[in-house]
């Protein structure tokens, strides 16, 4: 039958966070539907997507929540984080300010999220690295090391490392759960 309806062994929630326009929605649509949009508009209301992933002999259904643009108004509520076991914390490697704002996001994650939440730091838009990079790979690496996070640079546009970022999060959550 349809893979969506397969019996799953685990169901869990994960969230996408980070500044506006860093590419959160495109990372999710790439991961869940293998789609990318050049002009994606913030949608109304919280949205989420599912994807089933096999880890070892277990089938995991990941429910991944995307913001609906509330991050622009710093209006993400605690219910967004409630019950989430994982987070992709995203910045844009071509905009330094989105990296500087990670402190605020980490603070919020720790305020509202569960203490053992798996956080993967994602520097998105790596396809623009040669022309417009404002954040070095080393900066991402050292912040991740300092904060105890996994780290990857991705391109939702060119489909680079997108699966890896989600899989790292999902595999680590599975390790904690089992």
List contacts with Mg ion (CB under 5 A).
24-25
Residue 123's nearest CA partner among 104, 103, 138, 106 is 138
Q: Which is nearer to Mg ion, 124 or 168 (CB)?
A: 124
Distance CA 15, CA 48 (A): 9
22 binds ligand GDP (CB under 6 A): yes
Q: Which is nearer to ligand GDP, 59 or 69 (CB)?
A: 69
40 binds ligand GDP (CB under 6 A): yes
101 binds ligand GDP (CB under 6 A): no
Among 13, 51, 157, 174, binds ligand GDP (CB under 6 A): 157
Distance CA 62, CA 130 (A): 33
**Residues, the chain:** 178
153 binds ligand GDP (CB under 6 A): no
Q: Which is nearer to ligand GDP, 161 or 168 (CB)?
A: 161
125 binds ligand GDP (CB under 6 A): yes
Helix (H, G, I), strand (E, B) or coil at 74: coil
Q: Which is nearer to ligand GDP, 23 or 140 (CB)?
A: 23
Q: Kindly tell me the sign of the dihedral angle through the C-alpha atoms of 67, 64, 141, 21.
A: negative
Distance CA 170, CA 113 (A): 17
Task: Provide, rounded to whole angstroms, the least separation between the CB of residue 124 and ligand GDP.
Answer: 5
Distance CA 3, CA 5 (A): 5
Chain positions contacting ligand GDP, by CB under 6 A: 20-26, 37-40, 124-125, 127-128, 155-157
């Amino acid at each position: 039958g349809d893979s969506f309806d397969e019996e799953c062994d685990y169901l869990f929630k994960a969230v996408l966070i980070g500044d506006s326009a860093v590419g959160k929605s495109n990372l999710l649509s790439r991961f869940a539907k293998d789609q990318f949009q050049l002009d994606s508009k913030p949608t109304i209301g919280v949205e989420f997507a599912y994807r089933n992933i096999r880890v070892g002999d277990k089938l995991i259904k990941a429910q991944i929540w995307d913001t609906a643009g509330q991050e622009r108004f710093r209006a993400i509520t605690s219910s967004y984080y409630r019950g989430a076991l994982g987070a992709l914390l995203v910045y844009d490697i071509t905009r330094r300010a989105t990296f500087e704002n990670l402190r605020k996001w980490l603070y919020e994650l720790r305020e509202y999220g569960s203490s053992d939440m798996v956080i993967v730091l994602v520097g998105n838009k790596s396809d623009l690295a040669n022309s417009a990079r404002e954040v070095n790979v080393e900066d991402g690496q050292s912040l991740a090391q300092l904060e105890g996070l996994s780290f990857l640079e991705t391109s939702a546009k060119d489909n680079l490392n997108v699966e890896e970022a989600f899989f790292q999060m999902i595999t680590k959550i599975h390790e904690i759960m089992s």
